[in-house]
Amino acid sequence: MIKKVCGICNNPNKPIWKAKTRDSPCMCKDCYNMEKGSQKPPIKARVAIKKISDKQAKINVAYSALRLQYLKMFPNCQVVSTDCTYVATQIHHKMGRAKDHMLDTTTWLSICHSCHEKVELNPEWAYEKGYSIKRLNK
């Protein structure tokens, strides 16, 4: 245990500390710590937080396979609005992708990009037409 200052060490302008034991020489705090091997442990490298959890990664793999199958079964846009391209390239989740809805194909629509934008930007219209389902019961 380091007790008190008693002079200047070989290191420039560092105070020297006297250890409690009588046979310990006077030395600066850094030299004392190095001699006794009581240096601070090295700082561990920080590990980055995963962007996707293991559980979500498994769901994503299953979703990718189901999505391809669904688009093969329904290759045409199921909404058909004024700007429609008629070729489905995306999946619209009527109840969102939260919880179990991500893999529930009963709430999916195969849809083209322009129709998907229209459904997402006009939610009241989408609810009226049945392209979206409200998640909260009112």
The count of other CB atoms within 10 Å of the CB of residue 109 is: 22
Look at the chain and report how many structural domains it folds into: 2
18 forms bridges with which residues in the sheet? 4
Residue 100: per-residue pLDDT? 83
76 and 9 in a common domain: no
Residue 126 phi, psi dihedral angles, 5° rounding: -65, -40
Structure tokens at 43: 């700082």
Query: Domain check: are 16 and 58 in the same one?
Result: no
- Domain coverage including residue 14: 2-36
**What is residue 78's DSSP assignment?**
S
Q: What is the mean pLDDT of residues 38-51?
A: 78
Span 77-135, pLDDT tens digits: 999 888 888 999 999 999 988 888 899 999 999 999 999 999 999 999 999 999 999 87
Per-residue pLDDT tens over the stretch 71-92: 999 999 999 888 888 999 999 9
What is the structure's pLDDT at 136? 75
Q: Are residues 66 and 25 in the same domain?
A: no
List, in sequence order, every residue forming a beta bridge with 85; answer none if it has no partner.
none
Where does the chain have alpha helices with state H?
A: 29-36, 54-73, 113-121, 123-129
